[in-house]
Structure 1
Amino acid sequence: MSIRIRHPGGTATFPLSDSVDLGALQEFIAEQCGIAPLEQEIKTGYPPRALPLHGVPSSTLLSDAPLRIRRGEQIIVALKSSGSASAAPSSSSSSSSSFGLGAGSRNMTTPTPKAPASEAPAAAVKSRKPEAAPSILKPAAPAPAPAPAPVPISRPAPPAQIPRTFAPAPAPSTLPPLSSAPSSSPGLQKGETISVPLPASSPLEGHLTLQIVPDDNSCLFSALSLLLHQSHSPASNRTLRQQVSRGILADPFEYSEVVLGAPPKEYVAKMQRDTTWGGGVELAVLSKEHRLELAALDVINGVTHVFGQGQGYTTRGYLVYSGIHYDALVLLPELGAPLEFASTLFDISTPGALEVVDVAAGKLREKLKEKRYYTDTARFTLKCGQCGQSLKGEKEATQHAMKSGHTDFREYE
């Protein structure tokens, strides 16, 4: 787990544990952007505020007052203006090059080697090699009041039984998805924000908010990339597709032809195409790859499928599944805050924290259902964009595609 750093040379991530002190952070910053510890102005929070570093020993833990820097937080570094009195002593105990990131590192989304399951966060600090980590929010203190009762969460069905976002049997990735409709957010007004505030007594603060990703045939990968890196791009989506393919081929027993609906090599070849949608299989593979729980909120059926539950993972991310589309859920410090200040993954090791997010996620799912933010794939009406034939539901569209070879389908009322 780490914090994100924005500095004049770009961005970087810094591994954080309970034993990391101010000196280590300042030396890492100096390595990244060339600003010496005594010349650094460090801002945290939203809106960003400068930390009072004057007189603070370099041995002060980042989790202690007056710093109180939390996992998943973003800090902003600038050159201190002349005359500022907030300098902090530099550390003399750690190497400025020991964290292994070159000066001017700018790319937060570049994949890094995954740590073995047995490694604790403290080990990452000891090795001085930061991981490119997502925004993981851990409460600074336990909730002062009992946490609300959690929303019931069902364990995921076998991957092949999770809806695969408009895909025919037996090969789920054969039929291309629907073309993007003029409005990619059914039931929502343009620019409308759907969010649920966390209660004031909660150990967490902010607004759990729907973050919509494009209808570009890679919505699942875009949503997951947003959770992992706070951004998405064709390159990051392709990386996730490659991880899926490797995971499937590495475990032929778990991902057999019976589960996939196609021979594994054929399945992964199709998964490399940008026009192939992802679903339950992909969520199961990527949950294991990134060692985190992935909770998919099914708007139509009012349930949540949790992938990776019971595997000892310490973080969870939330996705919204609306029948033929995936989006992401993020926690904004306040409505309208930039995405870069959002928490996108949640530390589930602190008692009470996960329950609060589960309750808010359940409320947000119900809001979306009330606004009809979903597509009923059994009853929706389609038109073939190649021959104009009207079709009803996924079954008729699948049959038409297999018979005619047509691949352009559009939903209409």
Structure 2
Amino acid sequence: MEGVVVRRVIPSDNSCLFNAVGYVMDNDNQKATELRQVIAATVSSDPEKYSEAFLGKKNEEYCAWILDPEKWGGAIELSILADHYGREIAAYDIQTSRCDLYGQESNYQERVMLIYDGLHYDALAMSPFDDAPEEFDQRIFAVRKDRTIGPVEGLALNLVKDQQRKRSYTDTANFTLRCGVCQIGVIGQKEAVEHAQATGHVNFQEYK
């Protein structure tokens, strides 16, 4: 298979996870509103599975929360979206080069890939060459009998490790950030998320 794995940048607007999934699944990076509704409907339809213990908040409270375009998604949302589309979602973490696979227990026959820098999700795709237009992207990959997607997996990991070497990630526990809007300093992901939720500011720069 000829080509390169490329990172398709998704806008930083608190909905990057949903829009990244929309891009790799449907070639549409404006699906956040629709996918938030899918998740809320799934969660509200099964309060036993999606209990307060599982969600960290009451079922109906979570459903209202995830519909808010200012709120960020994570592992719970990715596992629901994998089942919604009937495809595995591989999420590569730049800081650790770990790959978290969602939907793997369902033996789906296809997989898509995302990349995560500690705060933000982008899409990964196979392109015939660097700088090729997005319409040539291959975004969905067949899962083989050995449960891999073949050479693409190695190419994706190489890209992740290259980003890791360049420190293109945010150490979310200990990093210091400055809000690009109001210049306030925060430490760690928790403070950054709290500041973003309180102010709507999402333009953070790391500083030492």
Correspondent of 1:345 among 134, 137, 140: 140
Instruction: Give yes or no for the alignment of 1:229 onto 2:23.
Output: no
Match of 1:272 in 2: 67
Contact map agreement 1:386 1:406 (CA 8 A) in 2: no
Aligned partner letter, 1:330: A
Taking only aligned residues, the RMSD between alpha carbons, in angstroms, comes to 2.4
Instruction: Give yes or no for the alignment of 1:205 onto 2:2.
Output: yes
How many Å separate the matches in 1 of 2:145 and 2:194? Answer: 49
Instruction: Give yes or no for the alignment of 1:320 onto 2:115.
Output: yes
Cα distance, 1:385–1:369 mapped onto 2, change above 3 Å: closer
Provide Cα deviations, 1:350-384, integer angstroms capped at 9, x if missing partner.
Answer: 66971312211111110010111111111222346
Aligned partner letter, 2:205: E
SS state at 2:118 partner: coil
1:390 positional shift: 2.8
How many Å separate the matches in 2 of 1:398 and 1:221? Answer: 17
Match of 1:411 in 2: 205
Matches within 5 A, 1:105-254: 204-233=1-30, 236-254=31-49
Contact map agreement 1:230 1:339 (CA 8 A) in 2: no
How many Å separate the matches in 1 of 2:191 and 2:126? Answer: 39
Aligned partner letter, 2:65: K
Correspondent of 2:53 among 258, 261, 275: 258
RCO (CA 8 Å, sep 6+): is it higher in 1 or 2? 2
Cα distance, 1:363–1:248 mapped onto 2, change above 3 Å: same
SS state at 2:104 partner: coil
How many Å separate the matches in 1 of 2:172 and 2:147? Answer: 36
Number of matched residues?
206
SS state at 1:354 partner: coil
Deviates more, 1:391-400 or 1:274-283: 391-400
Aligned partner letter, 2:113: Y
SS state at 2:105 partner: coil
SS state at 2:91 partner: strand
Aligned partner letter, 1:309: Q
Correspondent of 2:165 among 328, 351, 370: 370
Contact map agreement 2:70 2:200 (CA 8 A) in 1: no
Provide Cα deviations, 1:191-249, integer angstroms capped at 9, x if missing partner.
Answer: xxxxxxxxxxxxx222111111111111111111110122312xx22111111111111
Greater helix share, structure number: 2
1:254 positional shift: 2.6
Instruction: Give yes or no for the alignment of 1:311 onto 2:117.
Output: no
Aligned partner letter, 2:7: L
Correspondent of 2:186 among 369, 391, 398: 391
Contact map agreement 1:219 1:326 (CA 8 A) in 2: yes
Match of 1:379 in 2: 174
How many Å separate the matches in 2 of 1:226 and 1:283? Answer: 14
Long gaps (5+) in structure 1 = 1-203
Contact map agreement 2:144 2:150 (CA 8 A) in 1: no
Contact map agreement 1:382 1:392 (CA 8 A) in 2: yes
Aligned partner letter, 1:263: K
1:267 positional shift: 1.1
1:337 positional shift: 2.1
Contact map agreement 1:384 1:406 (CA 8 A) in 2: no
Cα distance, 1:397–1:352 mapped onto 2, change above 3 Å: closer
Cα distance, 1:401–1:279 mapped onto 2, change above 3 Å: closer
Long gaps (5+) in structure 2 = none
1:349 positional shift: 3.4
Deviates more, 1:388-397 or 1:353-362: 388-397
TM-score by length of 2: 0.88
Aligned partner letter, 1:208: V
